[in-house]
């Protein structure tokens, strides 16, 4: 006799493995992100203006690769293969950075790294949606985000330790940073399944979708998909780079050599909230969890704007990290709910591209406000924009709530 109340399924093994792979990749990415600015300015002797131009170009390259990888993963019915190509490019970038003697080679290394990240991010998020049982989709996305963020703060701590143990030998640290990627690639290829590819092969479909077919399907995506992009884009304009948190903590009296602790606290808070909130979203609804995340943005901005001590600043940083664990997971779950399986990669490509453009706008706006009116007004502006995004929530399709 069938039970009336069946227990929810457990998180699939492939989700755990994919989360572990994200953990390893984040360790390497954060090491590179942390030490590259010092390498460019202190070893190569280049200006912060050149550094800013470098980062701007490579981030733009990464943005375009995200939408491209999503569309291609739907077109060729493969996700894992594209993720693997991204990992290989990132792995190649580490020796290039380690051997760099000029800005050209640094640009090439960073560009390959960001392209690799772009090729990884979109198919990976789509693959989680492919693998996740519908009843626990929130928990699956939350787990992956938690493990990824755990890799971020582990990478920040490891970067500090490696610089200390190697006496700031940047080249050696870049070489060491390639080890987690190599491990991630091996684990991905051996242990992660690709249900989209397997389903396509089992059906033995003779004709693959054309790009015209994909474009037609994209234009016919449901209205609530575009509403989710609107919600995500508006919310992302309230976000800003962690660099502003670092500067705010330094202004409040944090010693420069302890600045990476800001990123450690932020990512620890994100790692601790992403999975529980994803799990709760399966029980209590997505919209209520997103509203909680927006509330934490406002509270964090208030602490950061008014904080007169390091204690208050770190409370703001902790709340900021917690909201990221909530909102980044929930927005991804919204998208996974809204996209049909055959267009999930394309949907996440549009999602990441939309978010990236809005984040570039957010950081430009934040920098301008910081310089012209001061930090408090920048944080207050962030709070207002985040609060405005709540007006979109009631219009999100009931399927995603």
Q: Give the per-residue SS3 of 245-312.
A: HHHHHHHCCCCHHHCHHHHHHHHHHHHHHHHHHHHHHHHHCHHHHHHHHHHHHHHHHHHHHHCCCHHH
Residues 154 and 30 in one domain: yes
State residue 217's pLDDT score. Answer: 67
Q: Is the pLDDT of residue 107 over 80?
A: yes
Residues 117 and 189 in one domain: yes
State residue 261's pLDDT score. Answer: 80
Query: What whole-number distance in Å separates Cα of residue 187 and Cα of residue 85?
Result: 14
Q: Among 34-43, 108-117, 132-141, which stretch is predicted with the lowest mean pLDDT?
A: 34-43
State residue 400's pLDDT score. Answer: 40
Higher per-residue pLDDT: 162 or 212: 162
Average pLDDT over residues 195-214: 55
Region of 132 (left: φ > 0; alpha: ψ -120 to 50; beta: rest) is beta
Average pLDDT over residues 80-89: 92
> Would 267 be classed as within a structural domain?
yes
DSSP 348-389: HHHHHHHHHHHHHHHHHHHHHHHHHH-HHHHHHHHHHHHHHH
Domain-terminating residue out of 183, 204, 225:
204
pLDDT tens-digit profile of 143-160? 888 898 889 888 888 888
In Å, the largest CA–CA distance within the chain is: 74
DSSP 193-208: --HHHHHHHHHT-SSP
- What percentage of residues in the chain have a pLDDT greater than 90? 27
State residue 256's pLDDT score. Answer: 63
Q: Among 176-180, 242-246, 346-350, which stretch is predicted with the lowest mean pLDDT?
A: 242-246
1 confidence band (pLDDT: 50, 70, 90) = very low
206 confidence band (pLDDT: 50, 70, 90) = very low
Query: What whole-number distance in Å separates Cα of residue 80 and Cα of residue 107?
Result: 27
Q: Domain span at residue 288?
A: 209-401
> Would 381 be classed as within a structural domain?
yes
Highest mean pLDDT among 42-51, 251-260, 306-315: 306-315
Number of domains composing the chain: 2
> Would 272 be classed as within a structural domain?
yes
Residues 263 and 118 in one domain: no
Query: What whole-number distance in Å separates Cα of residue 36 and Cα of residue 50?
Result: 12
Q: Measured at the alpha carbon of residue 272, what is the angle toward residues 117 and 393, in degrees to the nearest 5?
A: 75
> Would 311 be classed as within a structural domain?
yes
25 confidence band (pLDDT: 50, 70, 90) = very high
State residue 204's pLDDT score. Answer: 47
State residue 49's pLDDT score. Answer: 67
Domain-terminating residue out of 177, 204, 231:
204
Average pLDDT over residues 172-189: 93
Q: Is the pLDDT of residue 199 over 60?
A: no
Residues 131 and 257 in one domain: no
State residue 213's pLDDT score. Answer: 64
Nearest to 238, CA basis, from 288, 280, 279, 294: 294
pLDDT tens-digit profile of 377-388? 989 999 999 999
State residue 72's pLDDT score. Answer: 79
Highest mean pLDDT among 1-5, 24-28, 249-253, 358-362: 24-28
Residues 182 and 215 in one domain: no
Query: What whole-number distance in Å separates Cα of residue 212 and Cα of residue 214?
Result: 5
Average pLDDT over residues 193-218: 59
What are the structure tokens assigned to 84, written together?
A: 């693997």
* Residue 309, phi then psi, degrees to nearest 5: -135, 160
Higher per-residue pLDDT: 86 or 49: 86
> Would 151 be classed as within a structural domain?
yes
Any residues with CB less than 8 A from the CB of 231 and at least 6 apart, and which? 290, 331, 334, 389, 392, 393, 396
Question: CB neighbours (10 Å) of residue 282?
Answer: 21
Residues 307 and 244 in one domain: yes
Residues 190 and 72 in one domain: yes
> Would 3 be classed as within a structural domain?
no
> Would 1 be classed as within a structural domain?
no
pTM score over 0.85? no
Query: What whole-number distance in Å separates Cα of residue 348 and Cα of residue 68?
Result: 10
Residues 140 and 257 in one domain: no
Q: Measured at the alpha carbon of residue 266, what is the angle toward residues 54 and 389, in degrees to the nearest 5?
A: 85
> Would 5 be classed as within a structural domain?
no
Higher per-residue pLDDT: 125 or 233: 233
Nearest to 94, CA basis, from 112, 115, 119: 112
State residue 401's pLDDT score. Answer: 39
CATH number, domain containing residue 23: 1.20.1250.20
Q: To the nearest whole number, what is the mean pLDDT of the chain?
A: 83
Nearest to 124, CA basis, from 25, 217, 208, 11: 25
CA atoms within 13 Å, Cβ hemisphere of 218: 19
- What percentage of residues in the chain have a pLDDT greater than 70? 88
Domain-terminating residue out of 204, 228, 262:
204
2 confidence band (pLDDT: 50, 70, 90) = very low
Average pLDDT over residues 35-51: 77
Residues 252 and 394 in one domain: yes
Contact between 38 and 91 (Cβ < 8 Å): no
State residue 73's pLDDT score. Answer: 77
Residues 184 and 253 in one domain: no
Q: Among 180-184, 305-309, 312-316, which stretch is predicted with the lowest mean pLDDT?
A: 305-309
Residues 154 and 231 in one domain: no
Average pLDDT over residues 367-371: 84
Residues 136 and 277 in one domain: no
């Amino acid at each position: 006799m069938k039970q009336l109340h069946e227990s929810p399924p457990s998180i699939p093994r492939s989700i755990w493995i994919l989360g572990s792979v994200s953990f390893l990749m984040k360790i390497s990415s954060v090491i590179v992100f942390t030490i590259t600015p010092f390498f460019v300015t202190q070893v190569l002797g280049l200006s912060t203006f050149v550094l800013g131009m470098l980062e701007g170009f490579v981030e733009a390259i990464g943005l375009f690769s995200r939408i491209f990888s999503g569309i291609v993963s739907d077109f060729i019915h493969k996700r894992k293969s594209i993720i693997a190509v991204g990992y290989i490019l990132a792995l190649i970038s580490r020796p290039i950075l380690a051997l760099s003697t000029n800005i050209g080679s640094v640009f090439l290394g960073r560009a390959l790294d960001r392209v690799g990240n772009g090729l990884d991010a979109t198919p990976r998020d789509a693959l989680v949606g492919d693998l996740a049982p519908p009843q626990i989709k929130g928990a699956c996305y939350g787990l992956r985000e938690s493990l990824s963020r755990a890799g971020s703060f582990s990478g920040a701590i490891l970067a500090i330790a490696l610089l200390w143990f190697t006496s700031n030998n940047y080249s050696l640290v870049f070489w060491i940073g390639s080890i987690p990627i190599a491990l991630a690639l091996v684990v991905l290829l051996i242990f992660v399944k690709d249900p989209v590819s397997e389903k396509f092969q089992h059906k033995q479909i003779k004709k693959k979708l054309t790009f015209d077919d994909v474009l037609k399907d994209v234009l016919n995506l449901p209205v609530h998909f575009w509403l989710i992009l609107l919600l995500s884009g508006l919310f992302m304009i309230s976000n800003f780079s962690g660099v502003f948190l670092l500067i705010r903590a330094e202004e409040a009296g944090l010693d420069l050599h302890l600045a990476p602790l800001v990123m450690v606290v932020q990512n620890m808070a994100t790692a601790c909230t992403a999975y529980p909130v994803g799990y709760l979203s399966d029980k209590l609804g997505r919209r209520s969890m997103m509203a909680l995340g927006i509330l934490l943005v406002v509270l964090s901005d208030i602490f950061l704007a008014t904080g007169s001590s390091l204690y208050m600043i770190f409370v703001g940083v902790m709340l900021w990290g917690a909201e990221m664990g909530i909102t980044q997971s929930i927005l991804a779950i919204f998208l996974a709910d809204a996209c049909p399986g055959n267009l999930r990669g394309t949907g996440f490509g549009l999602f990441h591209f939309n978010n990236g453009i809005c984040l570039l706008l957010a950081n430009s706006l934040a920098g301008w406000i910081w310089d012209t009116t001061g930090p408090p007004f920048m944080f207050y502006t962030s709070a207002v924009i985040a609060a405005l995004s709540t007006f979109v929530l009631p219009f999100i399709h009931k399927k995603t709530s």
